[in-house]
């Protein structure tokens, strides 16, 4: 739902996210078109029901039970709020996974976006070769989510890895960073930041939309490069920053693959990479506590909904829409 | 080709002094080095002997050792050829499923008028932000109760959702694209006697090719790289896809597996890399039009 109020950041002024014809007035539904509409929509509708809605309701129900995959449905016991109570009051590893996930998102996402914006500013000039750089910087975003790259990453920050050989050039003795509870999560943050290319491409598209006259006007008024950045670039880019921030934060909360690979599916060392989704996976599919895992999933869903709502409600104070739309 | 894609928005501004632009180039090249280093290191290590992996800290091997590739290929009871076949099959069928089902849904949203359309569209947008991890437990339970998990053909739980347009990003991308197709074409076809199906078949489908290609590329790469769902739904070794098989290397903690593990990692990224080289511009433009992530 949330996105209905977000303009497509790279297409200023082409209208809000909405099916086309609603802008043309509702009009009469042509004979037979209503039926055709549902015929074309039917795969999606079946998917919405069978793959999304029913599983969501099932998981809500299961979250109040002690269901594990081994007992038959008929013997499932209703436990009321016990799963939720356990999560909040007597499950330190749940709280720990919340802390790990929050610190991952709070540190990695802003740094990734800062890197993306910085590089986009460097590239935002018409000159030959910009396309080449843009492509090269985008490459990690395509590869970075894979198991293969996570494997490479873990080895790179291991004792004999490339990072320690780099440190050795400066006479610094490294350590097996991925086995150190104080540093394991940080190596995953670096992996996330390394994938700055996707938000960078979106920033670049946004920068192209900033009218040159604004810089000229600011320059005539005596504003230096820094003031131009603060007073022209940042406000004009704020819808794109907002868009990237929402998307990257939600993605950041869902980090799974790299944490799984680093810890071989345990969340270690000493739970330091126990991302929320990894904890959910372990609870549901290793410990088979599917009722409890369902409760964890629902809390996750509600948390993400609340965070998105906070973004959108605070966004109106700092996101500037130059065409006045949606405000 | 690449240079022409960039509109020169600031061409009218005075050129900066030469030294500044040199500085910028040096900074950019440094970033290129950081971006590419892990990839080159990965390829270099995959050609190092076991001894060199421990002792040679350089980027490239002193002695070129392709043996890791043959060792890795046959490292488990099932050969990697099988894993690659499984991955390719799942990815290609996902491409077909997404292209067909999302196009149908997008046509309904973009062009047809029917009751509750606004509400369904809002619901579709709502599912854009729905984390897949939230649904995995109940989906697993449902597919298992239908006998589809670990069944005769264990890929159904991975593929059924893809044939039901559950990847809302692609529906959204195609709706956005179809909004750019002039409605006059629909009207012309309608005057010629075409109904909603005829317009879809003769106007929208042929004109939607660019959106279909973008969808196909992203859906291939995402599925090829996907790990979470494949980890959950595939349970026997011969059914494994490449990402799940790669994690088997981590289980065998012995140092001797590092070379083969890197070799197979390189191979697993090869298709994505080929796509990147072939469709680089399209991929970059693709995330621009929809904001979707690579």
A298 reaches B (C-beta below 8 A): yes
What are residue A78's DSSP bridge partners?
Answer: A65
Alpha carbon distance A151, B247 (integer Å) = 8
| Token pair of A38 as six digits | 């549902």
Question: What mean pLDDT do residues B75-103 have?
Answer: 96
Three-state SS string over B133-178 comes to HHHHHHHHHHHHHCCCCCCCCCCHHHHHHHHHCCCHHHHHHHHHHH
CB-based burial label for A28 (10 Å; 0-12, 13-18, 19+): exposed
Of A210, A196, A323, nearest in space to B7 by CA:
A210
Alpha carbon distance B90, B220 (integer Å) = 9
Alpha carbon distance B51, B43 (integer Å) = 16
- With an 8 Å Cβ cutoff, are A148 and B265 in contact? yes
Provide the sign of the torsion angle of the four alpha carbons A49, A53, A59, A64, taken in this order. Answer: negative
DSSP letter string over B214-228?
Answer: HHHHHHHHHHHH--H
DSSP B237: G
In chain A, residues 116-135 whose CB comes closer than 8 Å to chain B: 119, 122-135
B30 reaches A (C-beta below 8 A): no
DSSP B14: P
CATH topology of domain A2-7+91-318: MetI-like fold (1.10.3720)
- With an 8 Å Cβ cutoff, are A131 and B12 in contact? no
- With an 8 Å Cβ cutoff, are A51 and B268 in contact? no
Instruction: Find the closest chain A residue to B200 by CA distance.
Output: A40
| Token pair of B251 as six digits | 């289980």
B7-53 residue pLDDT tens: 444 444 445 556 677 888 899 999 999 999 999 999 999 999 888 88
Confidence of residue B56 (pLDDT cuts 50, 70, 90): confident
Predicted pLDDT at B287: 62
Predicted pLDDT at B294: 37
B119 reaches A (C-beta below 8 A): no
Q: Which range has the worst mean pLDDT, A58-67, B137-146, B221-230, B251-260?
A: B251-260
Of B246, B134, B10, B42, nearest in space to A264 by CA:
B246
- The CATH code for residues B77-290 is 1.10.3720.10
Of A54, A131, A216, the CB nearest to B2: A131
Predicted pLDDT at B123: 96
- With an 8 Å Cβ cutoff, are A3 and B125 in contact? yes
Instruction: Find the closest chain A residue to B101 by CA distance.
Output: A43
Instruction: Look at residue A170 and tell me whether its pLDDT is greater than 50.
Output: yes
Measured CA to CA in angstroms, residue A259 lies from A73, A140, A248, B278 at distances of 33, 17, 17, 31
Element (H, E) at B193: none
Alpha carbon distance A235, A223 (integer Å) = 15
- With an 8 Å Cβ cutoff, are B287 and A198 in contact? yes
Which backbone phi and psi does B99 adopt, to 5 degrees? -60, -50
Is 0.90 topped by the overall pTM? no
CB-based burial label for A50 (10 Å; 0-12, 13-18, 19+): middle
B258 reaches A (C-beta below 8 A): yes
Predicted pLDDT at B121: 96
Higher pLDDT, A26 or B123: B123
**Chain A, chain B: beta-carbon pairs less than 8 Å apart:** 348
B140 reaches A (C-beta below 8 A): yes
| Token pair of A199 as six digits | 């938000």
Interface test with B, best of A1, A26, A44 (most B CBs within 10 A): A44
Instruction: Look at residue A76 and tell me whether its pLDDT is greater than 60.
Output: yes
- With an 8 Å Cβ cutoff, are A280 and B133 in contact? yes
On chain A, the residues whose CB falls within 8 A of the CB of B32 are: 133, 136-137
Residues B137 and A294: beta-carbon distance below 8 Å: yes
Predicted pLDDT at A10: 43
Predicted pLDDT at A166: 84
Question: What mean pLDDT do residues B138-148 have?
Answer: 93
Q: Which range has the worst mean pLDDT, A144-148, B164-168, B273-277?
A: B273-277
Of A56, A134, A304, the CB nearest to B284: A134
Dihedral of the alpha carbons of A194, B44, B2, B17, in degrees to the nearest 10: 70
Element (H, E) at A48: none
In this prediction, the answer to ipTM > 0.95 reads: no
Which backbone phi and psi does A65 adopt, to 5 degrees? -125, 175
Of B174, B158, B163, B160, nearest in space to B97 by CA:
B163
DSSP B203: I
Of A34, A285, A297, the CB nearest to B114: A34
A99-147 residue pLDDT tens: 999 999 999 999 999 999 999 999 887 677 788 898 999 999 999 999 9
Distance from the B161 Cα atom to the nearest Cα atom in chain A, whole angstroms: 6
The residue whose two tokens read 């159904």 is B156
Predicted pLDDT at A11: 40
Predicted pLDDT at A28: 57
B164 reaches A (C-beta below 8 A): yes
On chain A, the residues whose CB falls within 8 A of the CB of B171 are: 44
Q: Which are the contacts of A313, defined by CB distance < 8 A and separation ≥ 6?
A: none
A4-31 residue pLDDT tens: 333 344 443 334 444 444 444 445 566 6
A222-248 residue pLDDT tens: 888 889 899 899 999 999 999 999 999
Instruction: Look at residue A1 and tell me whether its pLDDT is greater than 60.
Output: no
Alpha carbon distance A290, A296 (integer Å) = 10
Predicted pLDDT at B290: 53
| Token pair of A19 as six digits | 């099916």
A169 reaches B (C-beta below 8 A): no
Which three-class secondary structure state does DSSP give residue A2? helix
Confidence of residue B256 (pLDDT cuts 50, 70, 90): low
Q: Across all residues in chain A, what is the average pLDDT?
A: 86
Domains of chain B, by residue range, sit at: 19-65, 77-290
Alpha carbon distance A238, A206 (integer Å) = 9
Predicted pLDDT at B151: 83
Alpha carbon distance A317, B144 (integer Å) = 48
Question: What mean pLDDT do residues A149-163 have?
Answer: 90
B64 reaches A (C-beta below 8 A): no
Question: What mean pLDDT do residues B177-186 have?
Answer: 91
A74 reaches B (C-beta below 8 A): no
Of A132, A201, A298, the CB nearest to B288: A201
| Token pair of A35 as six digits | 């039926």
Predicted pLDDT at A224: 85
On chain A, the residues whose CB falls within 8 A of the CB of B3 are: 128-131
């Amino acid at each position: 739902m949330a996105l209905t109020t977000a303009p497509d950041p790279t297409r200023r002024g082409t209208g809000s996210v909405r099916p086309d014809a609603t802008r043309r007035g509702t009009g009469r539904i042509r004979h037979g078109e209503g039926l055709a509409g549902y015929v074309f929509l039917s795969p999606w509708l079946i998917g919405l029901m069978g793959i999304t809605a029913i599983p969501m309701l099932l998981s809500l129900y299961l979250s109040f039970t002690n269901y594990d995959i081994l007992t038959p449905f008929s013997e499932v016991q209703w436990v009321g709020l016990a799963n939720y109570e356990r999560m909040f009051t007597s499950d330190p590893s749940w709280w720990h996974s919340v802390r790990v996930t929050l610190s991952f998102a709070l540190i990695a996402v802003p740094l990734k976006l800062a890197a993306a914006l910085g590089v986009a500013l460097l590239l935002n000039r018409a000159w030959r070769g910009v396309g080449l750089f843009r492509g090269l910087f985008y490459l990690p975003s395509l590869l970075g989510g894979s198991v293969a790259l996570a494997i490479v990453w873990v080895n790179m920050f291991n004792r004999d890895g490339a990072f320690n050989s780099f440190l050795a050039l400066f006479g610094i003795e490294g350590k097996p960073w991925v086995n150190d509870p104080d540093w394991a999560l940080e190596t995953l943050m670096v992996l996330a930041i390394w994938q700055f290319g996707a938000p960078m491409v979106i920033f670049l598209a946004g920068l192209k939309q900033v009218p040159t006259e604004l810089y000229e006007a600011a320059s005539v008024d005596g504003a230096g490069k820094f003031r131009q950045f603060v007073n022209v670039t940042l406000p004009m880019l704020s819808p794109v920053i907002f868009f990237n921030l929402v998307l990257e934060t939600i993605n950041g909360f869902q980090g799974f693959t790299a944490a799984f690979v680093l810890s071989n599916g345990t969340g270690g060392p000493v739970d330091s990479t126990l991302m929320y989704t990894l904890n959910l996976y372990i609870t549901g599919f290793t410990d088979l506590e599917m009722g409890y895992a369902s409760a964890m999933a629902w809390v996750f869903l509600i948390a993400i909904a609340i965070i998105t709502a906070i973004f959108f409600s605070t966004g109106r104070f700092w996101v500037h829409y130059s065409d006045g739309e949606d405000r | 080709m690449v240079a022409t894609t960039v509109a020169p928005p600031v061409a009218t501004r005075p050129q900066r002094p030469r030294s500044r632009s040199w500085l910028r180039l040096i900074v950019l090249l440094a970033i290129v080095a950081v971006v590419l280093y892990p990839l080159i290191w990965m390829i270099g290590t995959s050609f190092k002997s076991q001894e060199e992996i421990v002792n040679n800290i350089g980027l490239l091997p002193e002695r070129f050792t392709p043996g890791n590739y043959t060792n890795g290929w046959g490292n488990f009871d099932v050969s990697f050829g099988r894993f690659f076949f499984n991955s390719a099959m799942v990815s290609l069928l996902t491409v077909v499923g997404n292209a067909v089902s999302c196009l149908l849904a997008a046509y309904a949203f973009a062009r047809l008028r029917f009751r509750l359309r606004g509400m369904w569209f809002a619901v579709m947008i709502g599912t854009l932000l729905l984390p897949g991890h939230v649904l995995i437990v109940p989906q697993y339970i449902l597919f298992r109760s239908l006998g589809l998990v670990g069944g005769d053909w264990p890929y159904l739980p991975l593929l059924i959702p893809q044939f039901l347009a559950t990847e809302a990003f692609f529906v959204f991308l195609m709706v956005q694209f179809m909004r750019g197709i002039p409605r006059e074409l629909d009207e012309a076809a309608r005057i010629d006697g075409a109904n909603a199906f005829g317009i879809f078949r003769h106007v929208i489908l042929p004109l939607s090719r660019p959106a279909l290609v973008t969808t196909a590329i992203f859906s291939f790469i995402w599925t090829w790289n996907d790990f979470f769902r494949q980890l959950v739904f595939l349970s026997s070794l011969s059914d494994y896809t490449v990402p799940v098989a790669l994690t088997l290397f981590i289980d065998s903690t012995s140092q001797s597996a590092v070379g083969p593990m890197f070799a197979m990692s390189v191979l697993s990224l090869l298709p994505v890399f080929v796509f990147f080289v072939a469709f680089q511009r399209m991929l970059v433009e693709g995330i621009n039009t929809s904001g979707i992530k690579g």
